[in-house]
Amino acid sequence: MAIKAGLKTRGYNKENMKKKTTTADDIKLYKRLLVYIKPFLSLIAFSIVLALAVSGVDGAIALLVKPIMDNIFVAKDIELLKLIPWLLLALYFIKGISRFGQ
């Protein structure tokens, strides 16, 4: 009972919960929240860049499968056999550093 009474005094009743918000209300809310986010905008942008790096490296690793299969196993290319492990190591290193930075 105390909880229901407390919620009603703060304006949390069923009628208020069913109200539709307008775009103007949403914009006001986002402006209020932006004050708290502003000090961290550079960190958020940096995290987004790192997330893009991780996803890009994942895609690059997936793209390496075709040359590995075609050139190393089928065509027996020794030069590519020497290059691909170093490339994979570099890609996984970049991915690890990016994930750590996130």
Q: Is residue 16 in some structural domain? A: no
User: Half-sphere exposure (CA, 13 Å, Cβ side) for 27?
Assistant: 3
Query: Is 5 a domain residue?
Result: no
Number of domains composing the chain: 1
The reported pLDDT for the residue numbered 93 is 95
pLDDT of 15: 67
Three-state secondary-structure class, residue 99: helix
pLDDT, mean of residues 6-26? 66
> Which structural domain, as residue segments, surrounds residue 80?
23-101
Predicted confidence at residue 76, as pLDDT, reads: 83
Q: What is the DSSP letter of 38?
A: G
Residue 17 lies in a domain: no
Q: Is residue 11 one of the residues assigned to a domain?
A: no
User: Is 54 domain-assigned?
Assistant: yes
Instruction: Show contacts of 49-52: CB within 8 Å, 24+ apart.
Output: 50/98, 50/99, 50/101, 50/102, 51/98, 51/102
Give pLDDT tens digits for 54-87.
999 999 988 888 888 888 888 888 888 888 889 9
Contact 95, 50 (CB under 8 A): no
The answer to the question of residue 52 being in a domain is yes
Cα–Cα distance measured from residue 37 to residue 27, given in angstroms and rounded to the nearest whole number = 15
Mean pLDDT of 34-58: 92
More confidently predicted of 7 and 32: 32
Annotate 24-38 with b (16+ C-beta within 10 A) or e (fewer).
eeeeeeeeeeeeeee
Q: What average pLDDT does the chain have?
A: 83
Residue that wins the pLDDT comparison between 94 and 102: 94
Q: Per-residue pLDDT averaged across 12-37, rounded? A: 79
CA pair distance 68, 74, nearest whole angstrom: 9
